[in-house]
Amino acid sequence: MKSPVYNRILLKLSGEAFKGEREYGIDPKFLVYIANEIKEGVALGTQIGIVIGGGNIFRGMAAAANGMDRVTGDYMGMLATVMNALALQDALMKVGVDSRVQTAIEMQEVAEPFILKKALRHFEKGRVVIFGGGTGNPFFTTDTTAALRAAEIHADAIFKATKVDGVYDCDPVTNPNAIKYDRLSHMDVIKNRLKVMDNTALSLSMDNHTPIMVFNLKIAGNIRKILSGEEIGTKIVGTTV
């Protein structure tokens, strides 16, 4: 079997991905699809950490815009990410992948607290580690959580799963003439305000020299293909030269 190009990655999943074809909540069938995609990556020998959003259940910023206290809304959003983490762990178990959930907010009855050395030990044992609860602090997105955890675990790259096949100069869903980028720098994304991750996450990734791979999650086999070195989606690196 061909060795993977990336030994350890941080996979960033949006909460919206968990909806599948539903309007909200979790689609169990699509969750099993995601679990099988992750399983292919594990089979290559890559160590995989995961951060999931909670937008399929609750959005703190949207609630704040409608009058709720932002801090309260953000904590509720963090709890939503834990629900998604537990759902993914269940799906991974069903397809035969050993995993652990670690949370930034302590809740020992349902998950381990985030302890870096313990997470690294799980990786060494071939387990997938799902990081829930965001950073444990309000005002930080799960994109920033992904960049932070990627830096902490010394991930070779962040795999940003989306519903389109890369980064475009504008929304390809509404504009058929949108231009796709194969390669960008972190600064290109920030300067051109391309909607990939928030600026805090991008700056953190740039400072830690963490590449970001943006790809379409709904195309089966993409995680395995990128891990094997295929040029898929858009690669965001420190420099495009």
Report if residue 221 sits inside a domain: yes
Whole-number average pLDDT of the chain? 92
Report if residue 175 sits inside a domain: yes
Q: What is the mean pLDDT of residues 87-103?
A: 97
Q: Looking at 61-65, 70-74, 148-152, which range is the least confident one?
A: 61-65
Q: How many CB atoms lie within 10 A of CB 189?
A: 23
CA distances from 63 to 72, 75, 237 (A): 9, 11, 34
CA separation for the pair 192, 170 (Å, rounded): 10
Residue 9 near residue 159, CB atoms below 8 Å: yes
Report if residue 72 sits inside a domain: yes
Which tokens hold the place of 149?
């955890």
| pLDDT digits 0-9 by tens, 124-152 | 999 999 999 999 999 999 999 999 999 99
pLDDT at 102 over 90: yes
Report if residue 3 sits inside a domain: no
pLDDT at 66 over 90: no
Q: Which domain holds residue 58?
A: 8-237
- CATH number, domain with residue 102: 3.40.1160.10
Residue 182's pLDDT band, with cuts at 50, 70 and 90, is very high
For residue 8, give the 3-state DSSP assignment: strand
| Domains: count for the chain | 1
pLDDT at 108 over 70: yes
Residue 42's pLDDT band, with cuts at 50, 70 and 90, is very high
Percent over 70 (pLDDT), the chain: 96
Report if residue 1 sits inside a domain: no
Report if residue 29 sits inside a domain: yes
* Full-model pTM: 0.93
Residue type, 123: F
Write down the pLDDT at residue 20.
79
| pLDDT digits 0-9 by tens, 187-240 | 999 999 998 999 999 999 999 999 999 999 999 999 999 999 999 999 999 865
Write down the pLDDT at residue 240.
55
Residue partners of 210: CB distance under 8 A and separation at least 6: 147, 150, 151, 155, 157, 158, 204
Rg of the chain (C-alpha set): 17
Report if residue 154 sits inside a domain: yes
| pLDDT digits 0-9 by tens, 166-180 | 999 888 888 889 999
